[in-house]
Structure 1
Amino acid sequence: MTKQLLMATVAASVVLAAAPAVAETDWDSLLGDHSGKSINMMVVNDPYIEAIRKMESKFEGLTGAEVTTDGFGYDPLHEKEILGCSQQDDQYDVLFIDGIWVGEFVEADCLEPVEDLWGDTDPSIIAWDDFVGSIAGQAQWDGKTYCLPVGAYWQVMHYRKDLFDKAGLKVPETFEETMEAAKFFTDNPDYPGMSGYAMNNRRGAAAGQQYFEWIYSAGGKPWESNYPGSEEPYADQTPLLNSEKSVELVKFFHDMVAYGPPGGEQYQWDDRFNAFAQGKVAMINAWSVRTPGLSDPDKSNIVGKWASAQMPHAKGEKTVPPVGGWIMCLNKHSKNKEAAWDFMRWFASPEIHKEWALIGGVPSRHSAFQDAEVQQKLPWTKELYTAAKTAWTEGRPRHPLTFEMIDAIGLQVNRAIIGEASPQEAMDTAQEKVTEMLKSEGILQ
């Protein structure tokens, strides 16, 4: 990734971009007639998938195309997409990929760069500067824009405001305060059945991603040149997984298990969210795609009883919110590129993006976050917007070894969490394994 691109990404992630006015577009004249054509999309089976499906008929009415959205779990989606690419499969035209997979998919020659397609599109429809910088950077690799960053996730801490108010506790800001609050609520007869904090501890990708979600707020860095604001985060990828701050963080994960729900050492994304939504834990941190469910009485027992705050940080450090989510990409092997690109630029436009956010999608644009209607319906997005503007784009690795590396780290983090190894032993092993992986691919000498 070029120095110029990264400098632009960092600047965009911390400066509030001016949101353009969202005007109605004459889609009938802009979009082509795609009658008889099918657009097939492969998407992670996260909560926003139903909102995508609700939008399909609108595009079908404009263009005559038939749109189909197929959902898969996180690991199966990665496996199916990368396998299809290797076989030059044209079954799916539009691929939603995790932003951290972009380096792998570019190297595998899977993607048609969107910047080569948008030359004849009104700039107000692409509105690139309207995308929040911390997610926009995840659609770019080696100085080129490959995808559209439509499904951004950030993390904040959700907490039971009613319980904190009753107990007279302030919302924790540091790791120490978080542990104290978690301890207070756990096994407290005044709060029967309540545990303090649910975390993403399951072995593999869940625990590996959790490590990257917290390491910067712990004052650490996963490798030598990767820290918030770094102009060249991939310049020196010497791992620092067994550094003092890294080991201290993993010890924090281990110690927090005592204040989590039964079986919490094996929790992953849905488990921690469901525990909070069911009223079993006082605090979680969670990707924003699941947050709307907390206000849905069909999914949540705590409607109106919760609030959001920034994730905690180590004493003397500052919060660096995690960023993740999904970028929408054009399969290089698609036979329906014209129709697929029409769908992509329509769906990602500020006007349609706002509609999607209001029916269960995830805001990724400044204009959506700043929209009065969005703010009224989704008041928690105010806290999320603060996180979005201060997140670090390179908070998780995005090179071709990403998927394998996160899984390897997650194995060792979980070993420490469940007591198979001490935090130091586990992270020494992670350091050794990841170093071997990077050297085998020529990333480290």
Structure 2
Amino acid sequence: MMWNRGIGLAATALAGVLAFSPLSSAEAKEIRVIATGEAYGSAMKAAADVFKQRTGIEVKIDQLPYADAYNKEVLLGTAGSDEYDIMVLDCIWLPIFVKNNWVQPFEPLEAKASTKIDWKGFFPGIVDSYNVFDGKHYAAPVDFFIEVLGYRKDLLEKAGLTEPPKTWDQFRDYAAKLNAPESEVYGVATMPAEQDGAYSEWTVRLAGLKMPPNANQFVWDKDFKSTVAHEGNGKKALDRWLEIKPYTAPGAAAMGYAEAINAFAQGQAAMHINWYSFFSDIETPATSKVIGKVGYALPPRETLDGPRRDYLGGFQIAISAKAQEPDLAYQFISFVTSDEGQEIMLENGAPGAYRTQVYDNAKWLARYPFLAPIKTAEVLLPLTADLAEYVEMQRTVYDQISAAWVGKKNSEEAMNAAHSSLDDLLKQLKYQK
């Protein structure tokens, strides 16, 4: 579940044209896909067009806003609906879909497929972290990201700062030094108003702390007992987040993903930490005023001792348990997740590079400069560790860290409540023995 990148990334040749057999007009069939509204969905439509030219198979992709997609996909699974052949799921959703048998394993389909998914070509760590349950593959990566730090190179240089902050102490000090309310430029853009965004602000700070025993991430251990109180980790991470509050823009408490990245794109913040896919807006002329002024690095750490750790996330493409065309669905997935499919996705604005070969490709590193730091990651941590009710668990923690951000609780009160509530939840869900 963890991946230590002790080996370098070897460049791999771009896959050739995949050999699919086109259907006759009488045989032509349709695959239906439900996806979220992120950039990968629009790019997947371009891949679907190429796939149709090769095979004659129509791929219709419906995109819904993130929360709406989750709600509909849960309803589809609960109802045993065959409306969609493919469901694209956030990595934190997939475990509950597997647990409830709403998606099907790839192995039976793969055994009879002429063109198979190239599992070895994925960026190391993604597949093992999110796609394999009880030895079977239930999905494949179609979007991948870790968190990165975006920083204004010009503002750092003006302040006499020669490199991005590497520790949270430096990050706080940089935020204070770069904070210039008189110019409507603030030290940091943050996102406490959105559950996933705020939780990410907390977990990115957890990742630099000492790993709890019997655990492969920082919130619960392998016996599903809360670890947020281990050596005060939860409180330490929350304190690190709260200490930048004086250097955020007025109204920061109402910011989520969209508002924070827009503030950074409009030049209203000197630094911002987010999942790297959001930084596409920074490199797009239509949405950014700071193109060419932003540098990228991996997030700061508590100390520079020992290996660094980073959480990985992304979207996974799965086949509905009730798919009308499961074999054709597998065929499309093998195409869109190939090196060629990855190139189409990148060409059409989806930066979540899931194939290893991208990270040695100068073309894509120039177009998506926030990809460059990813090669220096060392240990990648999964967010979910097979917890099916992750979203509910995340809400339990978010309620407390949000209360601390708005001043309703201090960090100790918030983390004590989160620790207790998390244990109660995991007992109620019968994860704890």
Q: Which residue pairs with 1:289 in the alignment? A: 277
Bigger shift: 109-118 or 423-432? 109-118
Q: Which amino acid aligns with 1:277?
A: A
Give the counterpart of 1:382 among 372, 380, 383: 372
Residue 62 of structure 1 is matched in structure 2 by 54
Q: Is the partner of 2:235 in helix, strand or coil? A: helix
Q: TM-score, normalised by structure 1?
A: 0.89
374-383 vs 280-289, greater mean Cα deviation: 374-383
Tell me the alpha carbon deviations over residues 322-373 of structure 1, each in whole angstroms, 9 at most, x when there is no partner: 2101010011111121222221111111122122123212211111222343
Give yes or no for the alignment of 1:154 onto 2:146.
Answer: yes
Alignment of 1:19-418 (within 5 A): 19-29=11-21, 32=23, 36-121=28-113, 126-137=117-128, 138-169=130-161, 170-187=163-180, 189=182, 192-202=183-193, 204-219=195-210, 221=212, 224-227=213-216, 235-243=222-230, 244-317=232-305, 319-361=308-350, 362-387=352-377, 390-418=378-406
Contact 1:156 1:288 (8 Å CA) reproduced: yes
Name the SS for the 1:110 alignment partner.
coil
Deviation at 1:321, TM superposition (A): 2.0
Distance between the aligned counterparts of 1:307 and 1:122, measured in 2? Answer: 44
Change in Cα spacing, 1:315 to 1:60, as seen in structure 2 (3 Å) is same
Q: CA deviation at 1:379?
A: 3.5
Q: How does 1:5-20 map to 2 (within 5 A)?
A: 6=1, 10-11=3-4, 13-20=5-12
Please list the CA deviations of residues 13-63 of structure 1 after superposition, one character each: whole Å capped at 9, or x if unmatched.
55335443223124343x655854222211111133222222222222222
Amino acid at match of 1:202: A
Inter-CA distance 316–369: structure 2 relative to 1 (3 Å threshold): closer
Say if 1:220 and 1:246, in contact at 8 Å, map to a contact too: no
Using a 3 Å threshold, how does the CA distance of structure 1 residues 202 and 226 change in structure 2: closer, same or farther? farther
Q: TM-score, normalised by structure 2?
A: 0.91
Pick closer, same or farther for the CA change 1:406–1:351 going to 2, 3 Å. same
Kindly tell me: are residues 287 and 108 of structure 1, through their superposed partners in 2, closer, same or farther at Cα, counting changes over 3 Å? same
Q: Using the TM superposition, give the Cα deviation of residue 122 of structure 1 relative to its aligned residue in structure 2, in angstroms.
A: 6.3
Q: Which moved more, 1:233-242 or 1:194-203?
A: 233-242
Match of 1:3 in 2: none
SS at match of 1:100: coil
TM-aligned CA deviation for residue 188 of structure 1: 5.5
Percent identity over paired residues: 23
Q: Which portions of structure 1, spanning 4 or more consecutive aligned residues, are displaced by more than 4 angstroms?
A: 31-36, 120-123
Asked whether the equivalents of residues 150 and 348 of structure 1 are also in contact (C-alpha less than 8 Å), the reply is yes
Cα 1:436/1:37, change in 2 over 3 Å: same
| Contact 1:194 1:279 (8 Å CA) reproduced | yes
Q: Offset of 1:76 from its aligned partner?
A: 2.2
**CA distance, structure 2, for counterparts of residue 369 and residue 263 of structure 1:** 37
Aligned length: 426
1:117 partner SS: helix
The offset of 1:234, in angstroms, is 5.3
Once residues 227 and 166 of structure 1 are traced to their aligned partners in structure 2, the CA distance between those partners, rounded to angstroms, is 41
2:419 to 431, 441, 444: 431
Q: Distance in 2 between matches of 1:122 and 1:291?
A: 38
Q: Residue type matched to 1:420 in 2?
A: K
Give me the whole-angstrom Cα distance separating, in 2, the residues matched to 1:227 and 1:112.
26
Task: Check conservation: 2:204, 2:299, Cα contact below 8 A.
Answer: no
- Alpha-carbon offset, residue 320 of structure 1: 1.8
Whether the aligned pair in 1 keeps the contact of 2:188 and 2:248 (CA below 8 Å) is: yes
CA distance in 2, matches of 1:121, 1:370: 30
Residue 100 of structure 1, CA deviation: 2.1
**CA-to-partner distance for each residue in 1:123-149, whole Å, 9 max, x for gaps?**
7x5221111122112111232211111
CA contact (8 A) 1:47 1:290 kept: no
Mapped partners of 1:267, 1:391: distance in 2: 30
**Conserved in 1, the CA contact under 8 Å of 2:18 and 2:335?**
no
SS in structure 2 opposite 1:393?
strand
Matched position secondary structure for 1:404 = helix
Q: Is the 8 A contact 2:208 2:303 kept in 1?
A: no
The one-letter code matched in structure 2 to 1:263 is G
What SS does structure 1 have at the residue aligned with 2:63?
strand
Secondary structure class of the residue paired with 2:31: strand
Cα RMSD between the aligned structures? 2.3
Q: In the aligned structure 1, how far is the partner of 2:313 from the partner of 2:357?
A: 19
Q: Distance in 2 between matches of 1:165 and 1:184?
A: 12
Structure 1 stretches of 5 or more lacking a match?
1-5
